[in-house]
Structure 1
Amino acid sequence: MSSPDTPIRNRWTLIGPGIVVAATGVGAGDLVATLIAGSRFGYALLWAAILGTLLKIALAEAVGRWTLAGERTIFDGWTSLGGAFRVGGLGGTLNWAGIYFGVYVVIWGFVYGAAAMTATALPLAALFPVLDLKVWGILSGLAGLAFVWFGHYGLFEKVMTACVGVMFVTVIGLAVIVAPDLPALATGLWPSLPPGSAFYTLGLIGGVGGTITMAAYGYWLNAKGWKGPGWMRVMRLDNRVGYVVTGVFVVAMLIVGAELLFSAGIALQGGERGLLDLDEVLRDRFGRPISILFLVGFWATSFSSLLGVWQGVSLMFADFIAHVRGRAGDEAVRGDRSRAFRGYALWLTIPPIALLFMDRPFGLIVAYGVLGSVFMPFLAGTLLWLLNSDRVPREWRSGWLSNLMLAGATVLFAVLAGRELIGLFQ
């Protein structure tokens, strides 16, 4: 039985939820964004990728600290922010935060389901062209559904750790193969803004390492059995390890973009399909074995993100429904065997299949982009509020550094959200 009092040299054996967050948060789209940054600006934005990693460490630590300090979920915190009203006939209450989350998670889940299935299908279709891309997408979604439906957290964590291992070998291996220019790499540690890179830099800082799945970190802590302030030091180690892994992935892909694409003037497509462009470059330069290895890593990156959302966001939705029904303290209605959990996993899988055949209607894409952009300032801002209030014991409230990071994240993500909103009217 694990314990928070495990000697520090053995705490590494307890690491788990942080790795799950890392595997979920780094998706194929994140790798493409970092690749494109390297292909356009070389190593100049390395500092931005590192700063983004530090911001995500602060955000995830805040989620974990809120969860452990009072043995509560993030949704318990959101429902305490005022403006609550009773939901007629259901026995629970909702407030502005709950309404926002409910609307967001339904629309986001519908579109993300199709995006995740497509991203996972792309490398499979390239490796095994005997099946159509849409068929691979449907099979990927059904595989994720079956896994979270019948599996348990322990198995989930092991599979996610295995995916991180595959990602580590392939991504770090690519960075080594392309032979980074270490002096040039070091120059990227000094903050600079090449012409035309301002908003791209903000996107790189804010975009890599997860969005809504960061809020799921607290649910994975509970699933791991870490409850109460006694686990605080273990949680902080776990979180740092997870996001250091994320940072390593980001830096490695920036190296690949700078060395393989920037010097040759090669441009990639946006979105996950840009990784297929990279596959062609790798095949031409290094041969088919390296190309196959990369596609396997591409699949591990995409499928781990799919599994993480199917599991983690479904837990959040189950907690949301428990609050609406007035049964927030009942673990039986919030866990991964609840009807709400399985219902949301179905929502992520079955309806989005239609989008695979409809090429994702423009209106849904716009709604997804806008709602997605405003979730992170919502998360950072509410954590800043909660962790400086009397809802948290004084010893676990945010200090100056945590407040600085959370405030900076709130401003950064608000600027990015504003850019998305302005884009609606241009």
Structure 2
Amino acid sequence: MTLVDRIRSVGPGAMVAAAFIGPGTVTTASVTGAAYGYALIWTIVFSVVATIVLQEMSARLGLVSREGLGEALRNRFDSPALRYASVALVVSAIGIGTAAYETGNILGGAAGLETVTGVSASIWGPLMGLVAAALLWTGRYELIERALVALVAVMGVSFLIDAILIGPDLGAIAAGFVPSVPQGSAFLITGLIGTTVVSYNLFLHASSVQERWSGPEDLTECRTDTILSIVVGGLITLSILVTAAAVFPVGTEISDVGRMAEQLEPVAGTYAQVFFSIGLFAAGFTSATTAPLAGAYATAGALGWEGDLKSTRFRAVWVAILGVGVVFSALDYSPVEAILFAQVANGILLPIIALFLILVMNDRDTLGEYVNTTVQNALGALVTLVVVWLGVRSLLSIVGVI
């Protein structure tokens, strides 16, 4: 496969990258770089590897079985009680969860536009939501995919140029690839991994590969797309962390990532400010588009509905998720209780989904020769253990134990 062919194969994987490089990731990477410099770069490397492991399984499941992850979860339980419980968990954690985070996605992107234009984020927010709605309403997967791939490219170029303009310490960057855990950094390590290994992306990927490719014969191209796109997503996160580490003295606290672009100007000039703002807008818009799409895929699959982008029920789900984000972005209000619920539900769901994914990837009746190898199972088990740890930490943090 030539380089041009590899670039052309980019698609569903880029949508996954578009989904996890949102304002939350921009915020977490910025805060981490400002607080601990380059020391936690290794965490991004681990996050990228972990994401590739789980997303490759999810994509392979969709490509070979022609089932979405929600459908697979729903169809694997014989017990009605377990089936209903799994459906309730998926709908609550993914459906309500993506709705809760949608406000942050829209406001994050709007903050980038506000910095460039001077127009209030509370005005840009609803406009962004309407544009995202128009894109999704077309029901044309190829158009949605191409738009998101283009915005991921914009993100990558913007944040990479910023990192170059800042002139980071290359020796310190190299040292950051060596694992270390500075005092008090456990929370941000958890955050960096948690914003990259995202449960709803597993649902999005298993369904979106079916829109792009026809079957197992396309598995090589699918894997190329997955690995290339997620590595690019990791490089974007790395660029953001490096920019913050280079600009701010170690130990600096960043309270508002929307203002970080303004803080860059005195240090690195107007161009750095503009590029960061453009990248933040692209991050917000892509996540504001992929989150409702993922929520619709997960909910439709779990409830046994048709996964057609033009079906009424499918549209109703993403309209509801996007609508929540638009309304709260116009009010400039964050639904804290809903977000806390989403964190609890996703903290429970991600380990369960990871365990289920490994289980179903060993089912020869479903996947035949495409079941997991021993190495894939070992990597999956390692990632799942870390995910369980993240879930436990998240839950304990929310209830105030740690």
TM-score by length of 2: 0.91
- Pick the aligned partner of 1:198 from 161, 164, 186: 186
> Which of residues 58, 61, 73 in structure 1 aligns to 2:56?
61
Instruction: Tell me which moved more, 239-248 or 341-350.
Output: 341-350
- Cα distance in 2 between the residues matched to 1:145 and 1:25: 19
Shift of 1:289: 3.4
Note if contact 2:52-2:230 (Cα within 8 Å) is conserved in structure 1.
yes
- Per-residue CA shift, 1:328-354, capped at 9, x if unaligned? xxxxx3210001111012201324444
Measured against aligned partners, the alpha-carbon deviations of 1:381-412 in whole angstroms (never above 9, x if no partner) come to 11111112234344211122221222222222
Q: Give the alignment partner of residue 138 of structure 1, picking from 105, 115, 126.
A: 126
Pick the aligned partner of 2:80 from 68, 82, 85: 85
- Give the letter for the 1:122 counterpart: A
5 Å-filtered alignment, 1:2-17, equals: 10-17=5-12
* Rounded Cα–Cα distance in structure 1 between residues aligned with 2:247 and 2:158: 15
Measured after TM superposition, the shift of residue 109 of structure 1 is 3.4
Is the counterpart of residue 170 in structure 1 residue 161 in structure 2? no
- CA gap of 1:364–1:206, structure 2 versus 1, over 3 A, is closer
Q: 2:382 aligns with which of 408, 418, 421?
A: 408
Instruction: Determine if contact 1:22/1:243 at 8 Å carries over to the other structure.
Output: yes
Q: Which residue of 1 aligns with 2:100?
A: 111
What's the offset of the Cα at 1:364?
A: 1.9
User: Which residue does 1:334 correspond to in 2?
Assistant: 307
Report 1:302-317 matches (<5 A): 302-317=284-299
For residue 134 of structure 2, what is the amino acid of its counterpart? A
Q: Is the 8 A contact 1:216 1:316 kept in 2?
A: yes
> Are 1:22 and 2:17 an aligned pair?
yes
CA gap of 1:162–1:83, structure 2 versus 1, over 3 A, is: same
Cα shift at 1:248: 0.8
Cα distance in 1 for partners of 2:395, 2:294 equals: 27
When the two chains are superposed, the root-mean-square deviation of aligned CA atoms in Å is 2.3
Equivalent position to 1:292, from 251, 258, 274: 274
Displacement after TM superposition at 1:221 (Å): 0.8
Work out the CA distance in 2 between the residues paired with 1:55 and 1:305.
20
Q: Percent of pairs identical after alignment?
A: 24
Per-residue CA deviations over 1:159-217 (Å, capped at 9, x if unaligned) read 11211121111111011111122222111222111122234323323322543123211
- Do 1:74 and 1:218's aligned partners in 2 also have CA atoms closer than 8 Å? yes
Number of matched pairs: 399
The match for 1:266 is 252
Q: Say whether 1:44 aligns with 2:39.
A: yes
Q: Which secondary structure does the structure 2 equivalent of 1:284 belong to?
A: helix
Secondary structure, counterpart of 1:337 in structure 2: coil
Mapped pair 1:347 → 2:320: yes
2:96–2:321 CA contact under 8 A, matched in 1? no
TM-score by length of 1: 0.87
Name the stretch that deviates more: 159-168 or 357-366: 357-366
> In the alignment, what sits opposite 1:390?
364
Deviation at 1:151, TM superposition (A): 4.7
Work out whether residues 101 and 339 of structure 2, in 8 Å CA contact, stay in contact via their aligned partners in 1.
no
**Structure 2 residue runs without a partner (length 5+):** none
- Offset of 1:61 from its aligned partner? 0.1
* Residues 79 and 320 of structure 1, relative CA distance in 2, 3 Å threshold: closer
User: 1:176-215, aligned counterparts within 5 Å?
Assistant: 176-208=164-196, 210-215=198-203
Where does residue 369 of structure 1 map in the other structure? Answer: 343
Tell me the residue number matched to 1:222.
210
Task: Give the whole-Å Cα distance in 1 for the aligned partners of 2:4 and 2:210.
Answer: 23
Q: Which runs of 5+ in 1 are unaligned?
A: 1-5, 87-92, 326-332
- Distance, in Å, in 2 between the alignment partners of 1:279 and 1:373 is 31
Richer in helix (by share): 2
Shift of 1:220: 1.2
- TM-aligned CA deviation for residue 149 of structure 1: 0.6
Distance 2:321 2:46 in 1: 32
Residue of structure 1 equivalent to 2:373? 399
Larger radius of gyration: 1
Alignment partner, residue 395 of structure 2: 421
Q: How far 1:134 sits from its partner (Å)? A: 2.3
Whether the aligned pair in 1 keeps the contact of 2:31 and 2:244 (CA below 8 Å) is yes
Q: Give me the whole-angstrom Cα distance separating, in 2, the residues matched to 1:11 and 1:350.
A: 36
The one-letter amino acid of 2:340's match is: V
Tell me the SS of whatever aligns to 2:118: coil
SS in 2 for 1:374: helix
The answer to whether the 8 Å contact 1:43/1:188 transfers is yes
2:348 partner letter: V
105-114 vs 147-156, which deviates more? 105-114
CA displacement 1:228-268 (0-9 Å, x = unmatched): 211111111110011110111122122112211135x5321
Question: 1:81 and 1:220, CA in 2 relative to 1: closer, same or farther beyond 3 A?
Answer: same
